[in-house]
Chains A and B, each alone.
Chain A
Amino acid sequence: MSAPDRDLLMAYVDGQLDAGARAALEADPVAMAEIAALQRQSDAIRTLYAPAGAEPVPVRLDPHRLAAHQARRTRAALGRAAMFVAVLGLGIAAGWWLRPASHAPELYDRLIANAVSAHTVYVAENRHAVEVAGDDSAHLSSWLSNRLATTLAMPDLSADGFTFLGGRLLPAPEIAGGRAAQLMYEDGSGARLTLYITPSSGIDGPSYEAVDFGLDTALYWADDTFTCTLVGPQPVDRLEALLTTIAAQLSPGSPGSPYRAL
């Protein structure tokens, strides 16, 4: 049997022939015998597998249920994506908020460190704690004012129980004028305070900062004219009160108490 014949017989079995072609084959007993064999084969295949199509369909193959699942999954995925974005955003925000200060310390930070170093060195001195004694307050004021190229009054803390010991000129290579002043005070118990003063031009940074150095606390304060760093072993609220008094006296022209406790 040639190939076209085989295709014709198959087409008969598979119902692909029109009436005329079917009739022509049905007149041929040999062809019909072949067709019968093919039909039995097809019937057998259907007998084998058709039952699978008659079984009750498991619920997991219910399209309505699958659609609901899919919708739930989509919602869950959207939720997860939203959560992810939110957490990522929080992380970025926190990272930005907590970002480390640039590696080089800010200028005002170095001034605070200078103030603390100078404090540590000079409060330990007895006879040479200051360069110019506090009893020559007028001279000290004009000298330091000249060197710092500004007008600097010597704050009087006697009302707070502190004696003015005097002051000295210190190098401050970080800043434009290259100089800083240190004033020293002492209370009745011998506890000493120092006040480190520079002109404030060219110094960016916060107007107020408190730094704990263990035994001592440094309070930094800046206005348009000066930066002051008050260093001493006193409690921080005591230092804050003193700094308020100092600020009012240092810049007599500036209004009231520029320093506000945070």
Chain B
Amino acid sequence: MVDFRDELQACVPALRRYARALTRNIDHADDLVQDCLERAMSRRLLFRPRGPLRPWLFTILTNLHRNTLRNRRRHGEMVDIDTLPDLAVPAPQPGHLALAELARAIETLPLEQKEALLLVTLEGLPYADAAAILGIPTGTLMSRLGRARSTLRALTGTPAEPHLRTVK
């Protein structure tokens, strides 16, 4: 039988990735992951669903992040844009998208669209799983996803019809 903590450990890299994309701050992200792990450990006897661990952890982390934002808004905490770590801008990547520009564009998305986008594109979760994590119907997930993608495309100036690619 696999130890619960080993199972958790296997999920940590993905959680960090998702948290980093949500917060764009390494410390905030790791704080979120730590909170998430602690919560999972303290609640697993009561709340752990029978299914796989990963979607449950993503659900916890998503909710923790929303709570953090809500509290921050309530307490009026200012986040100095200069304290956000610079995103390294590597060499141009596929599609010649300027990554920094894309990162900034993602920041402008409403949180609910950002969550949907990251769960599906970054984490590669099936629609059904992502919708369950966010507690929404699959149709809603897809519409958030569609709006997020259109916005990003508009903001990053990628034309609607890039160079055609032939697929055999």
Contact = CB atoms under 8 A, between A and B. Distances in A.
Interface in A1-43: 3, 6-7, 10-11, 14-16, 26, 29, 32-34, 36-38, 40-43
B133 interface: no
Interface string A55-74: 10110111110110010000
Contact of A53 (B13, B26, B42, B160): B13
A11 B117 CA distance: 13
A123 to B, nearest CB: 77
Interface size on A, as a range, is 35 or more
B61 interface: no
Contacts of B142: 7, 10-11
B106 A43 contact: no
A46 interface: yes
Interface size on B, as a range, is 35 or more
Contacts of B165: 32-33, 36
Given A37-B95, A41-B95, A66-B34, A46 B16 contact: no
23 contacts: A6-B146, A10-B145, A10-B149, A11-B142, A14-B145, A29-B166, A33-B162, A33-B165, A36-B162, A38-B149, A41-B102, A46-B122, A47-B90, A47-B94, A48-B87, A48-B99, A49-B118, A52-B26, A61-B12, A64-B5, A64-B9, A66-B38, A67-B41
Given A44-B95, A48-B106, 19 more contacts: A10-B149, A14-B120, A16-B126, A32-B164, A33-B165, A36-B162, A36-B163, A37-B161, A42-B121, A47-B93, A48-B21, A49-B118, A50-B17, A52-B29, A55-B13, A63-B5, A63-B12, A63-B37, A66-B34
